[in-house]
Structure 1
Amino acid sequence: MFVSYKWLQDYVDLAGVTAEELAEKITRSGIEVEGVDLLGEGISGIVVGHVLECEQHPNADKLNKCLVDIGEGEPVQIICGAPNVAKGQKVVVAKVGAVLPGNFKIKKAKLRGEESNGMICSLQELGIESKLVSKEYSEGIFVFPHDVVPGADALAQLNLDDQVLELGLTPNRADCLSMLGVAYEVAAILGRDVKLPEPKVITTGEKASDYISVSIEANEDNPLYVARVVKNVKIGPSPLWLQTRLMAAGIRPHNNVVDITNYILLEYGQPLHAFDYDRLGSKEILVRRARDGEKITTLDDAERKLTSDHLVITNGIEPVALAGVMGGANSEVRNDTITVLIESAYFTGGTIRKASKDHGLRSEASARYEKGIDSKRTREAADRAAALMAELAGGEVLDGVVAVDTLEKTPVKVSITLERINKVLGTEISNEEVSAIFTNLKFLFDVDNETFHVEVPSRRGDITIEEDLIEEVARLYGYDTLPKTLPVGESIPGKLSDYQAKRRLVRRYLEGAGLYQSVTYSLTSAEKVNQYALEKREPIRLAMPMSEERSLLRLSIIPHLLEVVGHNLARQIESVATYEIGSVFLSQANSELPEEKEHLAGALTGSWLTPTWQGEKKTVDFYVLKGILEGLFEKLGLEERVSYLQARVEGMHPGRTAAILLDDKEIGFIGQLHPNVQKAQDLTDTFIFELSLKDVLEAEVEEIHYQPIPRYPSMSRDIALVVDKAVAAGDMKKVIIEAGGKLLRDVTIFDLYEGERMEPGKKSVAYSIRYSDPERTLTEEEVTKAHEKVLQAVAEKFDATLRA
């Protein structure tokens, strides 16, 4: 909701409160003000000019030479290219030295040999969006529709010295979708009165009931319908004050009658519609549900097919409006309209929401009906519109209103004690302070022995229970003035569970390692749902999916991370390292609800180390990713229990993929995408992993046992073993550890060779083995004896020989 600060002053005295201060107060009371926009910010040197002479430029067909009085003695010559400039007009002039939006400065210039001392401006050149400029001035300069004095401040005339507050309203505060609603809110905050409009309708001797009758078939959808008739209107532009107020609120001016209905929409929050009475085609208004297959052409010239779920306004035979959403083209107000039928009605929100959604028509009117309007303003709004049409369009208002009213609206009454208010808020607010708050809110109430019996005004449909009244007291008392307390108890109020603490450690480690966290959809498509799934289950389909692309609950995180990588690569971000911790959803045979398992997945591509003047470039490969995971398992105390086994996974490179095992149970995989997959998705070499985080974090870990730093030196032996290519290096490492006995401390693989001078089908794997004893210094003989056991074991198990 856009709220004009100057317009708001019509209803509330804002003396001593700037727009910025008001925004702060409104925000602190519970409605966020997302910004305060000074309409003419950055503009200076703009005045009213009077075009005294206008003739064609002697050297240019599309330019005009104008003599303009800008209220500073001698008139100035300005060259203007607008097609609608003419003698006698009052226009907007940017003088020499003026500044326009974008810091565009106006200087003296010569255009085709003729001097130009300024610029005659369009509204767009003053920073007003094209979609808000009336069609009359959408192309060309703006011409003041009324008499103004040359040299006067044009920004003030155009209301561009106004400030607009943008309110970010939550759905429950539909009362503030109107200027009067905002006025009540501001008056309550400032402790001031609200000045309401008092429409004075002067009627003729003719009766409206002689011109129109109203009947309603769908009373549940439309319990209140009010019609007024205004004759002899003269269609034309609205006065400038009305146009500028609409533009400040984000609405484009059209003509005086349509603008008045939009003005009332903003002022009262009551949507209105103006029908051309003579184009209505009958003297009857019938409100009913549409018939299946019935059609209407709306004001946007689109033919729309209706169903029985939609509410329509008809002339007794055919629809003339889609109720609460948009009028029909067959009864719209045009330049030759003479008699106007004003519709002011109360429609139920669900019906309007259905029509708005079905036809993709979300209008200012439908938004208000959906959230709920104040039924007490329906008649007042019709009277206000009729009075303005008489004043601004020269119309004659017929006597009386034609209405159908079956609305039963009993006042909402809520009672609450002072004790409960203070108990919930932790305050000691007095009886008088609460009474003052309810008085400022313009709530009717009685106090009986510190119990408040409040009658909620119809404009505040959000207040129905005790807690709503407590909220009203709290926000006007001031959230920042509520007392602060700390929880008390015998133990610490709360802490992270072991699982949560470990999950936080995982995030910190991965981000410290250079990976960025991603958060992707839990929904995927039928094409991707089974890709890279650790457990194959029947996918779970949503009952009402947003689209086929988001119709199934995911079984793997990897497909979405690949989308993240592709998105970045498409934007020339060539190095990507990202991870996600999220749930996958596994169907269960005997349960409607799926089993949720938390997984950890990652994807890396591009450079791992960016080259510097003294360093080398390091691209991501299998071992970079494996090293990251090994560091993570070490952080979690699982490094000795995790192993890797060559594996084949659909969509993965057959020679660069491994299963991840925890205590010999497979918990995930790691590897490179298959080249065909990379090519299909326009990816560079991409390395990924996914594992069951639940299994990792719930694994029992022994307490850390510290050992003293060794006092005695260790001895190392390096061996290069020649084995068949099919032999896994990890399997050999296990045998070495078993054979090394109690003297062996650690084993590290440091080289793999499969090049020249190697027998076909063979490979050389090099290990560094370290021996030590914490109690003494080992002798050469002891180490040799232990080492020979190692060599014997690998020879027997794998037919391994020492490389020459």
Structure 2
Amino acid sequence: MLVSYKWLQEYVDLTGVSAEELGERITKSGIEVEGVDKLNEGVSGLVVGHVIECEKHPNAEKLNKTLVDIGEEEPVQIVCGAANVAKGQKVAVATVGAVLPGNFKIKKAKLRGESSHGMICSLQELGIEGKLIAKEFAEGIYVFPEDTEVGQDAMALLGRDDQVLELGLTPNRADCMSMIGVAYETAAILGKDVKLPEPKAAEISEQASDYIKINIEAKEDNPLYVAKVVKNVKVGPSPLWLQGRLMAAGIRPHNNVVDITNYILLEYGQPLHAFDYDRLGSKEILVRRAKSGETIETLDSVKRSLSEEHLVITNGAEPIALAGVMGGANSEVNADTVTVLIESAYFAGASIRKSSKDHGLRSEASSRFEKGVDPARVHKAAERAAELMAELTGGEVLAGSVEADYLDKSEKTVSTTLGKINSVLGTELEMKEIENIFARLQFRSTADNDTISVIVPTRRGDITIAEDLIEEVARLYGYDNLPSTLPVVASVPGRLTDYQKKRRVVRRYLEGAGLYQAVTYSLTSRDKALQYALEEREPVELAMPMSEERSMLRLSIVPQLLEVLKYNTARQNDNLAMYETGTVFLKDGVSELPEEREHLSGALTGLWGSHPWQGEKKPVDFFVLKGILEGLFAKLGLEERVQFKAGEMDGMHPGRTAEVLLDGERVGFAGQVHPTVQKEMDLKETYVFELSLKMLLDAKSEPLHYIAIPRFPSITRDIALVVDKVQSAGELKEIIAGAGGRLLKEVGVFDLYEGDRMEEGKKSIAFSLKYYDPEKTLTDEDIAKTHEKVLASVKEQAGAVLRG
């Protein structure tokens, strides 16, 4: 909502309160003022000029040489390029020394040999958006009415000596979608009175009821309809003050009749519509639901097909307006209109929303009906419009109004207690202070001991329960004045759960390891939904997907991360390491909603390390990926419980893929993307992993144990074992660790040999074993027995023999 500061002053005394200060105070009361725009900021030297003479420039076909009276001793010569400039016009002139928007300074100049002392301006050159300018002045200079006095401040006449507050309204504050509504709010904040217009148009003896009758079939959609008739109107341009206010509010002026309806919409928040009475084709207004297949051509010259869900205004036979949204072309007010029928109605928001959405017509009127208008202003708005039409179009208002009224306009009463208000706000307010706040809001209230009952005016449809009253008290008392207190409970709320703490540990570790966090869509296509899933389930399909590419809920995060790599590598970002913690969705076949599980996924490609000065480059490989994961498991205290086991998976390299097991249970996979997939996606060697984050973080880790630094030296023994090629080093390591007992502290692989000196189908894996005893220095005899047990175990369980 755009609010004119000068217009607002007509309803509330703003003496001593600047627009910026008012914006600050409104923001603190709960309605955000997104900005205060000074319409003539940096602009000066603009006056009204009278074009005394106008002739073609002697040296340029598209230029005109004019003599302009600007209210000084002598007229000035100005060269103008506008096609519509003519003798006798009153125009906006930027004099020599003037400044236009954009800090454009006007100087004396010579154009094709002719001197020019100023500039005749269009409205765009004065800083007004083209979409807000009346169509006749959309191109060329702006022409003031003939009776405009020469030498006046042109910006003031156009209403540009003003400041506009932009209110960012939430849907519940529809009451502030009008100047009167903002006036009530401002008066409450400042503790001032509201001065409301009191419309009373002079009426002639003819009765409006002789001209029109109102019938309503769809009473739930339209419980109130009021019609006024004004005859002998003269359609023409609106006065400058009205045009200026409309443009400041973001509405384009059209003609005096249409502009008045838009002015009332801004002033009262009540949308109106003006029909050309003589083009109605009958003396009846019938409001009903449209018939299936019925059509209407709206004011935007579009023929629209209607359904039985759309509310229409008809002349008893055919539609003449799409109710609350847009009028019909068959009853439009135009230059030769003489008699005007003013419509002021209360339409149900749901009905208007349906029509607006179906036809893609979002208008100032429809947005107000959708959020709710004040039923008490429907009559007043019609009277105010009739008064202005009599004043600005010379029309005659017929006596009375014609209406159909089925609307309950009674005010509701909401109660609360002083104790509850103070309990919720943490204050120690007294009842008199509460009563004063409601009085400032112009809510009638009565107090009975600890209880206060408030009669809520119809303009505030957002107040329905006790908590709404408490909010009003908090707003007007001032959020800044509410005391700050700590919660008094057994445990302070807001702490992270163990799961949340561990998740942060995971993120910090991966980012510390050099991976960037990604956030990708949970929606994907059917093909990608089934790829890389830890559990094969039927994917969940959306009822109303936005596209085929976003029609399914994902079962894995890897496909999305691969898309991230593809996008970046296509833009020459070759070295990438990404991770994501996100939700996958698993259909259980029983409940309608899928089970949501949190997964951790990563994708790496390109160089992991590069040291050009030393000539070193380290590309990403399986062991880089495995090392990252091992570091993560160590961070979570699970390193002893996690195993990597060779595995196979669709879309993964058959020889470079491992299953990740936690206590023997599969929690994920890691490995290289299959070369064919890499080729399809234009990726280099790419490695990915996906883990069930929930299983990892829910796993109970052992408490941290500290071990004293050994006081005695250790002894290292290296063994090279000849085994079958299919035998994994991990299995051998487990056997060695199990057989080593308390003296064996570390086991590590340091060599693999599969050369021509090795028997067919065999390989040699070398391990380094470290022994020590915290109580004494070991001798060869001390470890011989344990070492022999290790060798016997690997031979027995894995068929391994010492390499000769």
Partner of 2:91: 91
Partner of 1:80: 80
Given that 2:633 and 2:639 are in contact with CA atoms closer than 8 Å, whether structure 1 keeps it comes out as yes
Please state how far the C-alpha of 1:703 moved relative to its aligned partner.
0.8
Using the TM superposition, name which of 715-724 and 5-14 deviates more. Answer: 715-724
Match runs of 1:392-791 below 5 Å: 392-492=392-492, 495-545=495-545, 548-566=548-566, 576-606=576-606, 608=608, 620-681=620-681, 686-715=686-715, 726-738=726-738, 740-749=740-749, 769-779=769-779
- Letter of the 2:4 counterpart: S
Partner of 1:257: 257
Using the TM superposition, name which of 185-194 and 357-366 deviates more. Answer: 357-366
Using the TM superposition, name which of 542-551 and 262-271 deviates more. Answer: 542-551
CA distance in 2, matches of 1:57, 1:241: 35
Please state how far the C-alpha of 1:767 moved relative to its aligned partner.
5.3
Partner of 2:387: 387
Using the TM superposition, name which of 211-220 and 718-727 deviates more. Answer: 718-727
Does 2:176 align with 1:176? Answer: yes
Q: 1:430 to 1:358 in 2, by over 3 A?
A: same
CA distance in 1, matches of 2:377, 2:277: 24
Secondary structure at 1:658 match in 2: strand
Percent of aligned positions with the same letter in both sequences?
71
CA distance in 1, matches of 2:803, 2:4: 86
Given that 2:158 and 2:243 are in contact with CA atoms closer than 8 Å, whether structure 1 keeps it comes out as no
- Letter of the 2:462 counterpart: D
Please state how far the C-alpha of 1:223 moved relative to its aligned partner.
0.8
Using the TM superposition, name which of 773-782 and 196-205 deviates more. Answer: 773-782
CA distance in 2, matches of 1:493, 1:213: 64
CA distance in 2, matches of 1:505, 1:686: 25
Q: 1:540 to 1:275 in 2, by over 3 A?
A: same
Partner of 2:362: 362
Q: 1:710 to 1:399 in 2, by over 3 A?
A: same
The two structures have a TM-score, normalised by structure 2, of 0.91
Secondary structure at 2:24 match in 1: helix
Partner of 1:242: 242
Q: 1:216 to 1:701 in 2, by over 3 A?
A: same
CA distance in 1, matches of 2:151, 2:717: 97
Q: 1:544 to 1:123 in 2, by over 3 A?
A: same
CA distance in 2, matches of 1:405, 1:696: 66
Match runs of 1:132-281 below 5 Å: 132-145=132-145, 147-148=147-148, 152-281=152-281
- Output one character per residue of 1:661-698: Cα deviation in whole Å (capped at 9) or x when no partner: 11221111223434444454565654332211111011
Using the TM superposition, name which of 178-187 and 525-534 deviates more. Answer: 525-534
Using the TM superposition, name which of 370-379 and 760-769 deviates more. Answer: 760-769
Please state how far the C-alpha of 1:780 moved relative to its aligned partner.
6.5
Please state how far the C-alpha of 1:394 moved relative to its aligned partner.
2.3
Partner of 1:289: 289
Partner of 1:26: 26
Secondary structure at 2:26 match in 1: helix
Using the TM superposition, name which of 154-163 and 775-784 deviates more. Answer: 775-784
Partner of 1:130: 130
Please state how far the C-alpha of 1:215 moved relative to its aligned partner.
0.7
- Letter of the 1:271 counterpart: P
Please state how far the C-alpha of 1:562 moved relative to its aligned partner.
4.0
CA distance in 2, matches of 1:329, 1:755: 90
Q: 1:63 to 1:798 in 2, by over 3 A?
A: farther
Secondary structure at 1:505 match in 2: helix
- Output one character per residue of 1:702-739: Cα deviation in whole Å (capped at 9) or x when no partner: 11110112333445567777766644343343344345
- Output one character per residue of 1:344-397: Cα deviation in whole Å (capped at 9) or x when no partner: 100111111121222222211111111111011011111111111222222222
- Output one character per residue of 1:456-484: Cα deviation in whole Å (capped at 9) or x when no partner: 10001111122211111111111121222
Given that 2:89 and 2:146 are in contact with CA atoms closer than 8 Å, whether structure 1 keeps it comes out as no
CA distance in 2, matches of 1:756, 1:79: 97
Partner of 1:121: 121
Segments of structure 2 that go 5 or more residues without pairing to the other structure are none
- Letter of the 2:80 counterpart: C
- Letter of the 2:601 counterpart: A
Please state how far the C-alpha of 1:790 moved relative to its aligned partner.
6.3
Please state how far the C-alpha of 1:640 moved relative to its aligned partner.
1.8
CA distance in 2, matches of 1:539, 1:683: 27
Partner of 2:306: 306
Partner of 1:325: 325
Secondary structure at 2:59 match in 1: coil
CA distance in 1, matches of 2:420, 2:686: 61
CA distance in 2, matches of 1:94, 1:662: 80
Segments of structure 1 that go 5 or more residues without pairing to the other structure are none
- Letter of the 2:218 counterpart: A
Given that 2:132 and 2:250 are in contact with CA atoms closer than 8 Å, whether structure 1 keeps it comes out as yes
- Letter of the 1:652 counterpart: M
The two structures have a TM-score, normalised by structure 1, of 0.91
Secondary structure at 2:526 match in 1: coil
CA distance in 2, matches of 1:724, 1:149: 106
- Output one character per residue of 1:150-207: Cα deviation in whole Å (capped at 9) or x when no partner: 5544333333332222222222111111111111111111110111112221222322
Partner of 1:377: 377
Using the TM superposition, name which of 220-229 and 196-205 deviates more. Answer: 196-205
- Letter of the 1:502 counterpart: K
CA distance in 1, matches of 2:170, 2:711: 69
Secondary structure at 2:496 match in 1: coil
Given that 2:415 and 2:454 are in contact with CA atoms closer than 8 Å, whether structure 1 keeps it comes out as yes
Please state how far the C-alpha of 1:541 moved relative to its aligned partner.
3.5
Does 2:351 align with 1:342? Answer: no
- Letter of the 1:531 counterpart: Q
Q: 1:405 to 1:490 in 2, by over 3 A?
A: closer
Secondary structure at 1:528 match in 2: helix
CA distance in 2, matches of 1:748, 1:106: 83
CA distance in 1, matches of 2:107, 2:802: 88
- Letter of the 2:319 counterpart: P
Please state how far the C-alpha of 1:95 moved relative to its aligned partner.
4.6
Given that 2:410 and 2:458 are in contact with CA atoms closer than 8 Å, whether structure 1 keeps it comes out as no
Please state how far the C-alpha of 1:297 moved relative to its aligned partner.
1.6
Does 2:55 align with 1:55? Answer: yes
Partner of 1:15: 15
- Output one character per residue of 1:104-160: Cα deviation in whole Å (capped at 9) or x when no partner: 455555544444454433333333322222222222233334655555443333333
Secondary structure at 2:37 match in 1: strand
CA distance in 2, matches of 1:689, 1:641: 18
Q: 1:120 to 1:690 in 2, by over 3 A?
A: farther
Q: 1:389 to 1:793 in 2, by over 3 A?
A: same
Please state how far the C-alpha of 1:324 moved relative to its aligned partner.
1.0
Using the TM superposition, name which of 421-430 and 717-726 deviates more. Answer: 717-726
Given that 2:748 and 2:769 are in contact with CA atoms closer than 8 Å, whether structure 1 keeps it comes out as yes
Please state how far the C-alpha of 1:589 moved relative to its aligned partner.
3.7
Please state how far the C-alpha of 1:227 moved relative to its aligned partner.
0.9
Q: 1:601 to 1:201 in 2, by over 3 A?
A: same
CA distance in 2, matches of 1:680, 1:105: 60
- Output one character per residue of 1:248-272: Cα deviation in whole Å (capped at 9) or x when no partner: 2222222221121111111111111
CA distance in 1, matches of 2:234, 2:370: 33
CA distance in 2, matches of 1:234, 1:608: 79
- Output one character per residue of 1:600-643: Cα deviation in whole Å (capped at 9) or x when no partner: 22334455557687786655444443333222211110112222
Please state how far the C-alpha of 1:9 moved relative to its aligned partner.
1.2
Using the TM superposition, name which of 760-769 and 151-160 deviates more. Answer: 760-769
